[in-house]
């Protein structure tokens, strides 16, 4: 007498959900499906054995991904004088197996629960992916298989690099089982990992001036992020004799390297965005994912590079975005050689931050007398009293009023107003162009 259990399924006749059971067996411990036997174990047989076997094998071959046929044996056995189709399914090596029409989602992935075939939970799906793909996020199969690559294709074309099915396999966007990997997901139009950019008033995250969130292919995000930063990377003109010298707030090459580092080395197993914050005096690039195991900050500064995403780095290398592995941090520091301020690198267990100082802001600050030394204390107090007098006379002041009244540069006015606010002498109201300073209530 046949009974259903975790590895045995009985079907009176061919039904469409036979492929679901095959998927469940392949995702668990294997099993045998009998067509032509009632649920109570009564042998009924099938009318057309050859036709039924053909329907079963075709349904599984056409509907299930990855290909399950190598783990499948379908044959006709005679039981009690009647033909019964016996479908044996082994545990697969490329789990999770799923319905091609549904994708790697609970409605497309099935497992055995006792004698029943049920949808797998998301946690179970992720466990199967990790078990069969290892710890590499890039190499694991993407949960989303309906991917398009319009943005990536355009980027590859712009750099005269081929991007067809054969290249996608070579670059590991398509795995050995013919499915898209997470690396393909990162380059696809459907990529849900984002870059968030924000411009702040002053040097604190208190007042937004502008913000934007980038989505889509990482290649498109790279291009859009650089363009956004470039909009706020001002140029200051200085004269050396008769020659005019244009100086950007941030060396473009340093911005480029910091941005590439943020996208190539982040840990995409986490869903949080890459954060780029632009302040008056600096830009901060914050990336999810700390340093690789066994690597310290001093190693990074020396040019040691342990790639978290080697296949993604290889694609950026082929696109000539990266010239050589491990040189990005060194190139950033070279851009600031001889400058009064230097880039800063910080890392925690789960985050990495590169800070690029504003060269023009630091140059302006160099020309500003120190605020607190005893030798200039009298001059500073005179300026403070002048600002207080302006506030009492007009009710409030703005930065330009201070510049005109004191005959100082924009940087000096900003520093003075910031210190008076910090010391409790002034209060800020409004934002951006409408920012005003009022006397604090004592």
- For residue 17, the domain's CATH number is 3.30.950.30
The answer on pLDDT for 29 being more than 80 is yes
The answer on pLDDT for 62 being more than 90 is yes
> Are both 250 and 328 inside the same structural domain?
yes
Residue 313, both tokens = 């780095």
Assess if residue 47 is contained within a domain.
yes
Residue 158, both tokens = 């712009």
For 69, what's the count of Cα atoms within 13 Å in the CB-facing half-sphere?
Answer: 11
Domain final position from 363, 379, 398: 363
Domain final position from 109, 133, 157: 133
Mean pLDDT of 79-102: 91
For residue 435, the enclosing domain spans 367-439
Q: Which residue has the higher pLDDT, 375 or 177?
A: 177
Assess if residue 140 is contained within a domain.
no
> Are both 348 and 388 inside the same structural domain?
no
Which range, of 38-47, 129-138, 175-184, 334-343, averages the lowest pLDDT? 129-138
> Are both 261 and 339 inside the same structural domain?
yes
Mean pLDDT of 404-409: 85
pTM, whole model, 2 decimals? Answer: 0.63
The answer on pLDDT for 311 being more than 80 is yes
> Are both 350 and 372 inside the same structural domain?
no
> Based on the structure, what is the number of domains in the chain?
3
Confidence of residue 378 (pLDDT cuts 50, 70, 90): low
Q: In angstroms, rounded to a whole number, what is the distance separating the alpha carbons of residues 100 and 119?
A: 14
Which range, of 19-28, 224-233, 266-275, averages the lowest pLDDT? 266-275
Instruction: Evaluate whether 209 touches 432 at the Cβ level (below 8 Å).
Output: yes
The answer on pLDDT for 373 being more than 50 is no
Q: Determine what percent of the chain is predicted with pLDDT higher than 70.
A: 90
Assess if residue 174 is contained within a domain.
no
Assess if residue 262 is contained within a domain.
yes
- How far, in Å, are 17, 95, 225, 250, 417 from residue 215 at the CA level? 38, 29, 10, 25, 38
The answer on pLDDT for 419 being more than 90 is no
The answer on pLDDT for 375 being more than 50 is no
Instruction: Evaluate whether 203 touches 280 at the Cβ level (below 8 Å).
Output: yes
Q: In angstroms, rounded to a whole number, what is the distance separating the alpha carbons of residues 313 and 325?
A: 8
Cis peptide before 66 (omega within 30 of 0): yes
Output the pLDDT for position 291: 75
> Are both 129 and 264 inside the same structural domain?
no
Mean pLDDT of 127-135: 74
Q: Determine what percent of the chain is predicted with pLDDT higher than 90.
A: 51
Which range, of 1-15, 24-38, 295-309, 386-400, averages the lowest pLDDT? 295-309
Residue 35, both tokens = 């067509």
Nearest to 42 by CA among 88, 4, 97: 4
Output the average pLDDT for the chain. 87
Assess if residue 180 is contained within a domain.
no
Domain final position from 312, 344, 363: 363
Instruction: Evaluate whether 396 touches 421 at the Cβ level (below 8 Å).
Output: no
């Amino acid at each position: 007498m046949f009974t259903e259990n975790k590895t045995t399924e009985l079907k009176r006749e061919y039904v469409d959900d036979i492929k679901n059971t095959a998927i469940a067996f392949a995702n668990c411990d294997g099993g045998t499906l009998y067509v032509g036997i009632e649920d109570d174990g009564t042998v009924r047989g099938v009318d057309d054995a050859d036709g039924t076997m053909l329907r079963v094998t075709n349904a599984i071959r056409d509907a299930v991904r990855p290909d399950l046929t190598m783990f499948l044996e379908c044959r006709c056995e005679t039981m009690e004088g009647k033909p019964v189709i016996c479908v044996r399914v082994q545990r697969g090596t490329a789990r999770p197996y799923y319905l091609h029409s549904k994708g790697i989602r609970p409605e497309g992935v099935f497992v055995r629960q006792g004698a029943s075939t049920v949808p797998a939970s998301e946690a179970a799906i992720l466990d199967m992916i990790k078990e069969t793909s290892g710890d590499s996020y890039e190499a694991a199969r993407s949960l989303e298989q309906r991917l398009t690559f319009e943005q990536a294709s355009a980027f590859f074309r712009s750099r005269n690099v081929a991007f067809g099915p054969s290249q996608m396999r070579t670059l590991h966007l398509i795995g050995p089982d013919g499915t898209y990997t997470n690396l393909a997901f990162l380059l696809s139009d459907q990529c849900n990992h984002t870059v968030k950019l924000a411009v702040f008033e002053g040097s604190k995250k208190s007042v937004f001036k502008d913000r934007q969130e980038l989505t889509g292919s990482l290649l498109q995000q790279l291009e859009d992020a650089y363009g956004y930063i470039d909009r706020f990377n001002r140029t200051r003109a200085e004269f050396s004799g008769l020659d005019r010298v244009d100086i950007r707030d941030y060396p473009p090459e340093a911005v480029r390297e910091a941005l590439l580092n943020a996208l190539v080395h982040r840990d995409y197993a986490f869903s949080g965005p890459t954060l780029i914050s632009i302040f008056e005096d600096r830009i901060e690039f914050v990336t999810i994912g700390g340093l690789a195991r066994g690597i310290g900050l001093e190693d990074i500064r020396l040019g040691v590079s342990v790639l978290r995403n080697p296949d993604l780095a290889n694609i950026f290398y082929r696109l000539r975005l990266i010239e050589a592995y491990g040189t990005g941090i060194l190139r950033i520091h070279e851009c600031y050689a001889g400058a009064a301020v230097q880039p800063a690198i910080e890392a925690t267990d789960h985050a990495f931050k590169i800070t690029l100082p504003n060269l023009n802001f630091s140059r302006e600050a160099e020309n500003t007398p120190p605020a607190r030394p005893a030798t200039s204390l009298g001059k500073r107090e005179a300026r403070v009293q002048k600002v207080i007098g302006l506030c009492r006379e007009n009710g409030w002041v703005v930065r330009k009023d201070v510049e005109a009244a004191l005959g100082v540069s924009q940087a000096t006015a900003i520093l003075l107003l910031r210190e008076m606010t910090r010391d409790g002498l002034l209060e800020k109201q409004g934002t951006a162009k409408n920012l005003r300073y009022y006397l604090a209530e004592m």
